[in-house]
């Protein structure tokens, strides 16, 4: 309603005319008619009930605009402000009021030449109350930040890449626990990387920027947050290391929290013990505390008033009513071991509670939940304002008795959404109480207990490797596929180099795994996050590319889920890799840990209670979700989310040690896998042969425009041939025969020819005006110039030779480009009857006799009377060479007469 009266100084956005639906901060002057309308209700004790009924039990709260009395102008409130905040061993520049002044909170944070711009905006109208805070986070790395453009056709950023989705999760997870309950305005955090110098990573910077923007905004929250990265280089912990320093780091830890507690950690390491991890967390927490203290000082100067009045919580008495109705049944339902029957029983009980408290009404044990209302409509017209109301039992002046209005007692009713929220909190309370007070969980386990484990390998006959891992009601079907470099995952990043991932894990979570029907489409943020966690947990156990030259893809298909499906993916993936014949360094397993922080409320002594191998209900109702993967002694990956105000290092240490014992038990059960992993390459997996050639020979394999390599693939039937600049050649084939053929061809192409080598019965591949090209080995050709085709003059090579003819040639030169020069003339007498000669005929009797030696490793000597022939002369088997071409070792051979030479040449041409 907009107030049009001149005396009004405040504009209220609330659409209701009832005073109780306006915020306390709203200075609203109601009209006289509106005030008179509410006059009859002053004596009615059930006014709140009537308002709830008339508006379907929904209490909407609207975002208030500016206060009536403003001490400073909007321009003064948005004055630019800059401050430097310690960020590890350097400072970051935080600026507000420069950009995004219409947002609830906006900051730019600069580290070196990396700049992140973050905004926070709130919806004016709240959503329906729910148990999930309406927060959305978007993070985007602009290619222009690194002076690049997108590689796509439209030249603009498209849907978020997996890396950007992971950063969104890093921002969201620590922010959510700091939000106050009962605030239902849609909240959106947008973060852009506007500049990137390639040295200072923007992800941890984006967490801090989001925490500062939220702290400066109107959003009600508990404390400012900040995020840092911790690396371990040369035994020294480094806060917010550069990208170059991270190349040699043994640890990649991202930590976020407040000045007093840790809210989120996520990291990966190469088999790091728990003690070193705790030291890294301590170093990161100290850095976060320094940042948060500076942020609090900035908020005192530039922060906006918080919308605390917008918080709406369920009525306090509703908690008591829900416990009275459902408490006894909850005790029995929470003892049901199976997830689906327990979920259905809880749903049925919730429906019953909602029906009682929203439709039929519930009268408490003491009868205190009764209200009184009159039967007639209480909305009185303005014309009836002067009508005299006679008190019950009295008579008017005309001695006419007036019947009193009948009164009915109606139980108090509540909004459905409030009842559902309270029922969920009550269920969580009873679950915690059962664990703490009774020492048993819903499935009967102790806090340290692990669910039953079973696994089998070789589940899929045609897959390269597969494993079905089951832990309680959580099951993962892990599948391994091996391939060549073409199967690698390509990633476009700000660094400018298109990264190629040799190993990647893809996680899928269909709705059927929890017994529900739902949408199936692109992977969700949760699937991307869980898949990355499992991938980074398995990466340290893989062999190097030199040891195992395959690209490895792991799929984790969740077929059942009741908690810890990402850690089941680690266990299943470890078994599937062994089944595929991947020589892993050591097997790893994963476990999810939970916690009840304040046990005193539920019958304990106040000491936090750590739970091993938590289920879905324990994750939803607990205070922590701490996933840890590794072997018996060390850790490869970890991820922790806190749902309360945070935890301390002693609590984290206890959780890590308990997780270590759990991993040992899980690995022992995995070793009992039946059938066990085959640990050998599947017969359906491709064969990959790696060979080394001289780097300068790589171009000979590729050929002009890739012609040679395509020809080899077509001739031999191999799948792919991958070459690298360092001379590494990878041949991928489906069978051994085609692999061997390609090896021979490539070996011939890249062999180092020796001047003087003789090649017999070689095919002419093409003819040019200046000579013919002869294939000396498969895939390797050399030029026999027209002057080297015959001792006599030859005007055109086409006159004597054609493509497909076979001749004997000798290598006489290799130039600096590796091109071969061949000679046929060096292997035949000067007089060739096939080629006309301009030289004067010499009498054969008066001419000196010529002798020729067939030598493989040395030059052919001519115009000598006697030459011994080496014993390693190749044996000719084609019909283009007669048996007389083969000279026995130690024999002296005279040159053939002209008639014999002519016959040999004719035979060569016929072939």
Q: What is the DSSP letter of 357?
A: I
237: part of which helix (H) or strand (E)? strand 236-239
Q: Give the model's pLDDT for residue 352.
A: 93
Q: Report whether pLDDT(890) > 60.
A: no
Cβ neighbours of residue 393 closer than 8 Å, sequence gap 6 or more? 404
Task: Give the span between the Cα atoms of 306 and 540, in whole angstroms.
Answer: 46
Reported as half-sphere exposure (CB side, CA atoms, 13 A), residue 49 has a value of 19
Reported as half-sphere exposure (CB side, CA atoms, 13 A), residue 525 has a value of 16
DSSP SS3 for 768: strand
Same domain, 741 and 767: no
Would residue 391 count as lying in a domain? Answer: no
821: part of which helix (H) or strand (E)? strand 820-823
Strands (E), 340-451: 370-374, 407-411
Q: Which of 828, 847, 881 marks a domain boundary?
A: 828
Domain of 432, in residue numbers:
314-360+412-442
Q: Summarize the confidence of residues 867-876 as an average pLDDT.
A: 36
Would residue 275 count as lying in a domain? Answer: yes
Would residue 35 count as lying in a domain? Answer: no
Task: Give the span between the Cα atoms of 140 and 309, in whole angstroms.
Answer: 33
Mean pLDDT of the chain: 80
Would residue 765 count as lying in a domain? Answer: yes
Q: Give the model's pLDDT for residue 886.
A: 35
8 Å CB contact between 686 and 721:
no
Task: Give the span between the Cα atoms of 714 and 417, in whole angstroms.
Answer: 67
DSSP SS3 for 63: coil
Q: Per-residue pLDDT tens for 161-192? A: 999 999 999 999 999 999 999 999 999 999 99
Compute how many other C-beta atoms are within 10 angstroms of the C-beta atom of residue 432: 23
Q: Report whether pLDDT(292) > 60.
A: yes
CATH of the domain at 780: 2.40.50.140
- For the chain, give me the number of helices (H) and strands (E)? 18, 31
Same domain, 600 and 480: yes
**Which of these ranges, 293-302, 692-701, 773-782, 897-906, has the smallest mean pLDDT?**
897-906
Q: Give the model's pLDDT for residue 485.
A: 86
Same domain, 746 and 757: no
858 vs 696, more confident: 696
8 Å CB contact between 734 and 722:
no
Beta bridge partners of 560: 475
One DSSP character per residue, 683-698 reads TTSPEEEEEE--GGGH
Would residue 849 count as lying in a domain? Answer: no
Q: Give the model's pLDDT for residue 153.
A: 72
Strand 758-768, strand 771-777: pairing: antiparallel
Same domain, 333 and 260: no
Cβ neighbours of residue 617 closer than 8 Å, sequence gap 6 or more? 339, 342, 431, 442, 563
One DSSP character per residue, 257-315 reads E-SS-EEEEEEEEEEE-HHHHHHHHHHHHHHHHHHHHHHHHHHHHHPPPP-GGG-----
Q: Summarize the confidence of residues 471-487 as an average pLDDT.
A: 94
30 vs 702, more confident: 702
Would residue 480 count as lying in a domain? Answer: yes
Q: How far is CA 853 from CA 757, 865, 874, 903, in A?
A: 12, 11, 12, 20
Q: How far is CA 204 from CA 229, 241, 253, in A?
A: 6, 11, 10
Q: How far is CA 206 from CA 161, 197, 212, in A?
A: 16, 15, 10
Q: Give the model's pLDDT for residue 379.
A: 43
pLDDT band (50, 70, 90) for residue 366: low
DSSP SS3 for 465: strand
**Which tokens in the block code for residue 150?**
């997108």
Q: Summarize the confidence of residues 515-528 as an average pLDDT.
A: 91
8 Å CB contact between 478 and 458:
no
DSSP SS3 for 145: helix
Beta bridge partners of 784: 772, 822
Same domain, 150 and 245: yes
CATH of the domain at 729: 3.30.1370.10
Strands (E), 344-473: 370-374, 407-411, 453-457, 465-471
**Which of these ranges, 271-275, 324-328, 837-841, 863-867, has the smallest mean pLDDT?**
863-867
**Which tokens in the block code for residue 222?**
């508990």
Same domain, 266 and 329: no
Task: Give the span between the Cα atoms of 229 and 202, in whole angstroms.
Answer: 11
8 Å CB contact between 129 and 421:
yes
Task: Give the span between the Cα atoms of 890 and 699, in whole angstroms.
Answer: 42
8 Å CB contact between 441 and 611:
yes
Same domain, 493 and 571: yes
Burial class (CB in 10 A: 0-12, 13-18, 19+), 457: buried
**Which of these ranges, 25-34, 82-91, 274-283, 674-683, has the smallest mean pLDDT?**
25-34
pLDDT band (50, 70, 90) for residue 611: very high
Percent of the chain at pLDDT exceeding 70: 76
Q: Report whether pLDDT(13) > 60.
A: no
Task: Give the span between the Cα atoms of 492 and 442, in whole angstroms.
Answer: 46
Percentages of the chain per state (helix, strand, coil), in multiples of 5: 30, 25, 45
Percent of the chain at pLDDT exceeding 90: 57
**Which of these ranges, 546-560, 637-651, 816-830, has the smallest mean pLDDT?**
816-830
**Which tokens in the block code for residue 530?**
């869980």
φ and ψ of 77, to 5 deg: -70, -20
Q: Give the model's pLDDT for residue 346.
A: 94
Q: How far is CA 340 from CA 138, 331, 344, 347, 616, in A?
A: 34, 17, 6, 10, 11
Would residue 538 count as lying in a domain? Answer: yes
Cβ neighbours of residue 509 closer than 8 Å, sequence gap 6 or more? 524, 526, 527, 530, 558, 561, 565
Picking from 122, 119, 123, the residue whose alpha carbon sits closest to that of residue 105 is: 119
Q: Summarize the confidence of residues 280-284 as an average pLDDT.
A: 95
Same domain, 600 and 703: no
pTM of the model: 0.75
**Which tokens in the block code for residue 26?**
């709203």
8 Å CB contact between 29 and 3:
yes
8 Å CB contact between 712 and 718:
yes
CATH of the domain at 504: 3.30.230.70
Q: Give the model's pLDDT for residue 449.
A: 94
Q: How far is CA 769 from the centre of its chain?
A: 60
Same domain, 229 and 339: no
Q: Report whether pLDDT(902) > 50.
A: no
Per-range mean pLDDT, top range of 131-135, 183-187, 750-754, 840-844: 183-187
Same domain, 622 and 697: no
Q: Per-residue pLDDT tens for 335-344? A: 998 999 999 9
One DSSP character per residue, 73-114 reads -HHHHT--EEEEEEETTEEEEEEESSS-TTSSEEEEEEETTE
pLDDT band (50, 70, 90) for residue 94: very high
Would residue 711 count as lying in a domain? Answer: yes
Same domain, 653 and 774: no
Q: Summarize the confidence of residues 130-147 as an average pLDDT.
A: 90
Q: Give the model's pLDDT for residue 232.
A: 95
Same domain, 154 and 296: yes
8 Å CB contact between 549 and 447:
no
Q: Summarize the confidence of residues 577-604 as an average pLDDT.
A: 93
Q: Report whether pLDDT(53) > 90.
A: no
8 Å CB contact between 597 and 623:
yes
8 Å CB contact between 111 and 92:
yes
Number of domains forming the structure of the chain: 5
8 Å CB contact between 115 and 326:
no
């Amino acid at each position: 309603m907009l107030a049009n009266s001149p005396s009004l100084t405040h504009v209220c956005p609330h659409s209701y005319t009832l005073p109780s639906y306006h915020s306390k901060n709203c200075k609203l002057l109601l009209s006289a008619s509106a005030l008179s309308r509410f006059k009859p209700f002053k004596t009615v004790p059930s006014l709140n009930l009537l308002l709830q009924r008339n508006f379907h039990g929904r209490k909407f709260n609207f975002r208030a605009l500016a206060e009536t009395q403003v001490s400073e102008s909007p321009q003064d409130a948005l004055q630019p402000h800059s401050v430097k905040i310690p960020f590890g061993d350097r400072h970051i520049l935080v600026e507000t009021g420069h950009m995004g002044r219409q947002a609830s909170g906006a900051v730019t944070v600069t580290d070196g030449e990396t700049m992140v711009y973050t905004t926070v905006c709130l919806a004016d109208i709240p959503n329906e109350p729910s148990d999930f805070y309406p927060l959305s986070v978007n993070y985007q790395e602009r290619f222009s930040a690194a002076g690049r453009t997108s590689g796509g056709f439209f030249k603009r950023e498209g849907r978020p890449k997996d890396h950007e989705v992971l950063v969104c999760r890093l921002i969201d997870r620590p922010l959510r626990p700091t939000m106050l309950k009962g605030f239902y305005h849609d909240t959106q955090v947008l973060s852009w990387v506007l500049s990137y110098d390639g040295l200072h990573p923007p992800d941890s910077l984006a967490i801090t920027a989001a925490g500062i923007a939220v702290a400066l905004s109107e959003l009600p929250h508990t404390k400012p947050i900040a995020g840092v990265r911790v690396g371990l280089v040369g035994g020294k912990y480094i806060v917010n290391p550069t990208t170059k320093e991270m190349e040699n780091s043994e640890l990649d830890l991202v930590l976020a929290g407040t000045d007093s507690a840790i809210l989120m950690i996520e990291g990966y390491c190469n088999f790091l013990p728990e003690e070193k991890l705790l030291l890294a967390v301590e170093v990161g927490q100290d850095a976060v505390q320094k940042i948060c203290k500076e942020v609090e000082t900035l908020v005192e100067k530039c922060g906006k008033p918080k919308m605390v009045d917008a918080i709406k919580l369920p009525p306090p008495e509703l908690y008591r009513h829900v416990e009275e109705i459902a408490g006894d049944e909850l005790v029995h339902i929470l003892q049901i071991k199976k997830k689906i029957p327990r979920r259905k029983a809880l749903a049925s009980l919730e429906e019953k509670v909602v029906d009682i408290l929203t439709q039929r009404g519930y009268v408490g044990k003491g009868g205190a939940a009764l209200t009184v209302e009159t039967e007639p409509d209480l909305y009185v017209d303005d014309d009836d304002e002067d009508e005299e109301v006679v008190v019950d039992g009295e008579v008017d002046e005309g001695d006419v008795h007036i019947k009193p209005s009948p009164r009915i007692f109606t139980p108090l009713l509540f909004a459905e959404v409030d009842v559902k929220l309270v029922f969920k909190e009550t269920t969580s309370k009873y679950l915690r109480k059962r664990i703490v007070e009774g020492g048993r969980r819903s499935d009967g386990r102790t806090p340290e207990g692990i669910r039953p484990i079973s696994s089998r390998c070789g589940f899929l006959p045609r897959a390269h490797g597969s494993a079905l891992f089951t832990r309680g009601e959580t099951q993962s079907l892990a599948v391994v596929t091996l391939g060549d470099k073409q199967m690698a995952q390509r990633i476009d990043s700000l660094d400018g180099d298109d990264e190629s991932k040799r190993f990647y894990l893809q996680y899928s979570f269909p709705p059927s795994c929890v017994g529900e029907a739902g949408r199936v489409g692109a992977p969700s943020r949760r699937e991307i996050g869980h898949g990355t966690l499992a991938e980074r947990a398995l990466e340290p156990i893989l062999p190097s590319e030199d040891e195992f030259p395959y690209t490895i893809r792991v799929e984790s298909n969740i077929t059942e889920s009741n908690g810890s499906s990402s850690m089941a993916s680690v266990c299943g993936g470890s078994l599937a890799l062994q089944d595929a014949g991947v020589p892993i360094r050591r097997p790893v397993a994963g476990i999810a840990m939970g916690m009840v922080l304040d046990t005193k409320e539920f019958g304990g002594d106040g000491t936090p209670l750590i739970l091993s191998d938590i289920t879905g209900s324990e994750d939803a109702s607990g205070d922590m979700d701490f996933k840890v993967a590794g072997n018996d002694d060390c850790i490869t990956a970890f991820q922790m989310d806190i749902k309360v105000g945070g935890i301390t290092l002693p609590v984290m240490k206890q959780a890590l040690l308990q997780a270590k014992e759990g991993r040992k038990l899980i690995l022992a059960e995995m070793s009992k896998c039946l059938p066990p992993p085959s640990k050998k390459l599947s017969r359906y997996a491709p064969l990959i042969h790696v060979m080394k050639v001289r780097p300068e020979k790589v171009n000979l394999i590729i050929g002009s425009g890739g012609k040679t390599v395509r020809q080899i693939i077509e001739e031999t039937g191999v799948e792919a041939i991958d070459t690298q600049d360092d001379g590494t050649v990878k041949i991928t084939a489906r069978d051994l025969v085609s692999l061997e053929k390609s090896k021979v061809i490539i070996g011939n192409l890249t062999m180092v020819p020796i001047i003087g080598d003789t090649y017999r019965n070689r095919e002419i591949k093409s003819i040019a005006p200046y000579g013919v090209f002869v294939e000396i080995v498969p895939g390797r050709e050399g030029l026999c110039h027209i002057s080297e085709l015959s001792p006599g003059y030859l005007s055109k090579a086409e006159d004597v030779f054609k493509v497909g003819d076979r001749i004997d040639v000798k290598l006489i030169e290799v130039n600096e480009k590796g091109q071969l020069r061949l000679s046929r003339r060096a292997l035949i007498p000067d007089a060739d009857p096939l080629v006309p000669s301009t030289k004067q005929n010499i009498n054969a009797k008066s001419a000196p006799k010529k002798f020729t030696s067939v030598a493989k490793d040395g030059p052919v000597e001519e115009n000598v009377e006697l030459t011994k022939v080496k014993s390693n002369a190749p044996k000719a088997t084609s019909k283009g060479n007669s048996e007389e071409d083969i000279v026995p070792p130690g024999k002296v051979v005279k040159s053939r007469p002209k008639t014999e030479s002519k016959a040999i040449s004719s035979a060569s041409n016929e072939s």
